[in-house]
Every structure is written in structure tokens, then in C-alpha cells.
């Protein structure tokens, strides 16, 4: 039987005082305190395990622990005791991000141990090593110490993603070499403890491609090999790369265990305000599922005053199309949360707004672009956000609205030539996830409506908007009916 640590007890007690105004209903978050990157996503021994970067003692970043939730169905979740603590000489500055593997039935975590060599938070004097921990019960973990040290001249060396393929264990690690051109390094092992450097898998060629490539992921989907990175240091380019840091992917071919040939250049995964450090894993039925951190570094986080900060995106099934795009769609299991279904017949609006009588959480809406004449039309979500078609710029825009100018910003995607646009939208207490045309694009952002009012209103300005499909559902709480 596991016992609760002082940190767990602190979280449980603090959770009783958390203000629930903006706390998510169907997104994974800590009971209280801070979370960032998803870690160790895995299905093993009948359960899905999701871990996360966690500081239990405040709603701000601090020495990282690994929080832990489990599920039998990817829908209903249970919080478990904290899995990793920064309590050894090699990880006393934080148990940073990593991954999990099934080693003959043993749940095995591979993570970065961080040590501050100077003042805490001073990234110019650190040591980062890759460490191993195991569990036989899926709850309590034994640390086995470092298994991989950084190459000479590299301090920033973190976020190992490990997988089994071609009769070997493989690991990709993000690194920042002395030339400040981010890279992903590839390693190989027969036993998870002795690792051999294979090659630099991919790297930035110019400073505009990022000085550090965090949270690498490397996997095969639809017979294409995808390399995901979260580069730091890419400057904004027009409508693209508007966040402080980005997360994106390249498609290529991995041959002869060593060579990786890039076929498609870097593309952003999500185009909203709050999506970073995604990690993927293989579901029980073989699907590739991805989860990201639903926040962004150095961005406003009003929930910190309420005792918590950070959440995960919804799990997304990942596919790759013949047109060179990664498709991300919400997993079908989420339909288990639905209730109170409502649909409206096709209708149109002309220079007017129409508010739904009730507040829903899931929406499927199709706008008839060919027959709409309005300059701007879409939906408003309370007074916190708008999602609309801008006919003049030919873009779909997600705009946060707030008296705080740092929150009052927009993100957008181009509208390709088409007669309609299909939107699958999830609105939680303080977040919105938009999936466009069956996952061709997605936009994920946090927003903060007054008094939690997230009712939607259809509206049209300077012309007519035609809505051909509109379906709505209420969604139940993912932590209210956890599987035992």
C-alpha cells in the first residue's frame, strides 16, 4: 500500500481551497499547484499512465516533481501519489521531462535529472543527465540513477523519449550545443542502462530555427517517420510562430538505423496561444495518441491566483496525410462524456448576434463560406474569446478578449479555397480547443470569461452568415467516475 508524502498531503489540503471558477472539467490538471510538460505517457498492464511536470507547493514553476494520473479508458482519470521527487544529488534541481516504456511488464521511467551549479534558475550553470526509475506496482518508483551523461561542451541536454524498435532500445534527447543551434541526438541501447551515441538525428541550420530543441519525439505513423520538437528561439514570421516557443514536426525517412532524411520541413502542430511540449504514445489498439501542455511560458496565467496553473490538452489521435500534414483529431473515447444533445436546423444571421439558451462544452459547427457575405462571422464565447471567419483576410481567427492587454491577442490559420468549414470545438472553464476540417488544423488557447460564462453566441457583421450544421453536447467531469 502506497503512503502519501508531505508533498501529496500538501496538494490534497490545498486542493480544498482552490477556486474552481476556471478549473477544468474535462482536461487533466493537478489538484493544486503547477504543471507543465506531459511525461511518460504509456499504456501498460491494463492502465493508461500519464505523468506531468509538477510543482506541488505553489501555482508557479519550481523544482520539478512528476505528478501522476491513471485511467482504464483514456476518459475517466484518477490522481495517484507523486511518482518522482527531486531528492537525489543527480536530480536535486528537478526531475525534468522524460518518457516511459514497458520493459517486460515493468513500468520504467527515463527522465532528466537537473542540478543547478550556481544560483537556482541560472541556466548558464547547470548539469543535466538522463536517469532511470522503475515500478512493479505502477505507483511506487525506485530510482536507479543516471544512465546517460551529456557530451563534452553541452549543458542543456534533456527530455529523453525512449522506444523499442528493430530489436533495440532507442532514445532521442534535445540539446543545445555551444554554437546555439538546437539539435536532437540519437542513442541506442540493449538494456536501457548502457547507451551508445548514434548520430545527431536533426539540427538547426540557422539561428532562426531555434537555439534549443526541447521535448523531441520520434515515431512512425501511416508509414511516415515523424520528428517532433519544441524549438526555443524561432522568431515570429507573419502569422506564424507568434508564441514565445513553438512545437512542430518534420517528416522523413529513417533508414539503416542511423540515417534520417527530412522530406517535409518544419510545420507547427497547433496554431493557438497555448500548446507546447507534446508527447505521443501508442494506445492499446495501436493508435498514435498525442497530448500537449495547454499553456505557454511567460504568458499571463490568471489561475495562479486561484491556486493552480497548467493543464493538458485533450488526447488527440495522430495521422499523416498524403498531402504532407499531421492530422490531429480528438479521440473517439471522449464521446463517453456526452449528454444533453441539441441540434439546430440550418439558419442564417444578418448583422445580428444570437445566444444559445444553455452553456455547452462540445460543438460541431459548419459555416457555409460560399453563401456567406458577412465581412466577419462566427461565435463569441461569453466575453472571453471569439472564433470567427475574417472574409477580408481569408483567415479563421481565434481571438482572446480581456481588459488585460497581454491577453487580448489573436491567432489564426489560412482559409484555403473551399465552400464550407467544419469546426469541432471543445470549451472548458478556461480553455478552447478547435479542430478544423477533421484535424487539418487545430487552435488551442486559454481564455477567461467573466464569472465563467462561456455561453456561445453566433454573430455576423456587415452581411449574412450561413450556418449549415450546429450540434451541441454537455460533457461530464473526467475525475467524477474513475475506473478502479
Give the active site residues: 37
Q: Is 324 helix (H, G, I), strand (E, B) or coil?
A: coil
Listing DSSP states for 60-107 in one string gives S--S-EEEEEEESSSSS-EEEEEEE-S-STTTTTEEEEEEEEEETTEE
**H or E segment and range at residue 199:** strand 195-203
Burial class (CB in 10 A: 0-12, 13-18, 19+), 267: middle
Residues 6+ apart with CB under 8 A from 271: 411, 412, 413, 441, 442, 443
The dihedral through the CA atoms of 45, 79, 428, 475 has a sign that is positive
| Distance from C-alpha of 131 to C-alpha of 136, rounded to nearest angstrom | 17
Q: Is 32 helix (H, G, I), strand (E, B) or coil?
A: coil
CA 444 from centroid of its chain's CA atoms: 9
Question: Where does 77-217 have alpha helices with state H?
Answer: none
The dihedral through the CA atoms of 122, 171, 54, 2 has a sign that is negative
Residue 254, C-alpha cell as written in the block: 529513417
Beta strands in 258-331 (DSSP E): 259-268, 276-282, 288-293, 308-309, 316-320, 326-330
* Nearest in space to 301 (alpha carbons), one of 60, 121, 24: 60
| Distance from C-alpha of 64 to C-alpha of 9, rounded to nearest angstrom | 17
Amino acid at each position: 500500500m502506497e503512503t502519501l508524502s508531505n508533498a501529496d498531503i500538501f496538494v490534497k489540503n490545498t486542493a480544498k481551497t482552490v477556486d474552481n471558477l476556471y478549473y477544468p472539467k474535462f482536461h487533466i490538471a493537478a489538484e493544486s499547484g503547477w504543471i507543465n510538460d506531459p511525461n511518460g505517457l504509456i499504456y501498460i498492464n491494463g492502465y493508461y499512465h500519464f505523468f506531468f511536470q509538477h510543482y506541488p507547493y505553489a501555482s508557479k514553476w519550481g523544482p520539478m516533481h512528476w505528478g501522476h494520473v491513471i485511467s482504464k479508458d483514456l476518459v475517466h482519470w484518477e490522481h495517484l501519489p507523486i511518482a518522482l521527487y527531486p531528492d537525489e544529488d543527480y536530480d536535486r534541481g528537478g526531475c525534468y521531462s522524460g518518457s516511459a516504456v514497458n520493459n517486460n511488464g515493468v513500468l520504467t521511467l527515463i527522465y532528466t535529472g537537473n542540478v543547478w551549479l550556481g544560483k537556482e534558475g541560472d541556466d548558464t550553470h547547470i548539469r543535466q543527465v538522463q536517469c532511470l526509475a522503475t515500478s512493479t506496482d505502477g505507483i511506487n518508483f525506485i530510482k536507479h540513477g543516471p544512465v546517460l551523461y551529456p557530451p563534452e561542451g553541452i549543458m542543456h541536454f534533456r527530455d529523453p523519449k525512449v522506444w523499442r524498435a528493430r530489436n533495440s532500445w532507442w532514445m532521442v534527447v534535445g540539446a543545445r550545443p555551444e554554437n546555439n543551434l538546437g539539435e536532437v541526438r540519437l542513442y541506442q541501447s540493449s538494456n536501457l542502462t548502457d547507451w551508445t551515441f548514434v548520430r545527431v538525428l536533426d539540427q538547426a541550420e540557422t539561428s532562426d530555427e531555434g537555439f534549443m530543441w526541447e521535448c523531441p519525439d520520434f515515431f512512425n505513423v501511416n508509414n511516415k517517420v515523424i520528428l517532433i520538437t519544441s524549438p526555443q528561439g524561432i522568431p515570429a514570421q507573419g502569422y506564424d510562430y507568434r508564441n514565445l516557443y513553438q512545437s512542430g514536426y518534420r517528416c522523413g525517412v529513417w533508414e539503416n538505423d542511423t540515417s534520417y532524411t527530412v522530406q517535409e520541413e518544419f510545420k507547427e502542430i497547433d496554431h493557438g496561444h497555448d500548446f507546447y511540449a507534446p508527447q505521443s504514445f501508442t494506445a492499446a489498439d495501436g493508435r498514435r495518441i498525442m497530448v500537449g501542455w495547454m499553456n505557454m511560458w511567460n504568458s499571463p496565467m490568471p489561475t495562479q491566483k486561484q491556486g493552480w496553473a497548467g493543464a493538458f490538452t485533450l488526447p488527440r489521435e495522430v495521422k499523416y496525410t498524403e498531402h504532407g500534414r499531421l492530422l490531429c483529431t480528438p479521440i473517439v473515447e471522449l464521446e463517453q462524456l456526452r449528454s444533453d444533445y441539441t441540434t439546430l436546423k440550418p439558419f442564417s444571421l444578418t448583422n445580428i448576434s444570437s445566444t444559445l439558451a444553455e452553456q455547452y462544452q462540445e460543438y460541431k459547427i459548419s459555416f457555409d463560406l460560399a453563401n456567406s457575405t458577412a465581412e466577419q462571422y462566427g461565435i463569441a464565447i461569453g466575453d472571453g474569446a471569439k472564433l470567427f471567419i475574417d472574409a477580408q483576410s481569408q483567415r479563421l481567427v481565434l481571438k482572446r478578449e480581456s481588459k488585460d492587454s497581454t491577453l487580448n491577442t489573436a491567432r489564426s490559420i489560412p482559409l484555403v479555397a473551399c465552400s464550407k468549414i467544419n469546426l469541432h470545438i471543445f470549451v472548458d472553464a478556461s480553455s478552447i480547443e478547435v479542430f478544423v476540417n477533421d484535424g487539418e488544423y487545430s487552435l488551442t488557447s486559454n481564455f477567461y470569461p467573466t464569472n465563467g460564462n462561456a455561453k456561445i453566441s453566433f454573430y455576423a457583421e456587415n452581411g449574412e452568415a450561413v450556418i449549415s450544421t450546429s450540434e451541441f453536447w454537455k460533457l461530464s467531469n473526467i475525475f467524477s467516475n474513475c475506473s478502479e
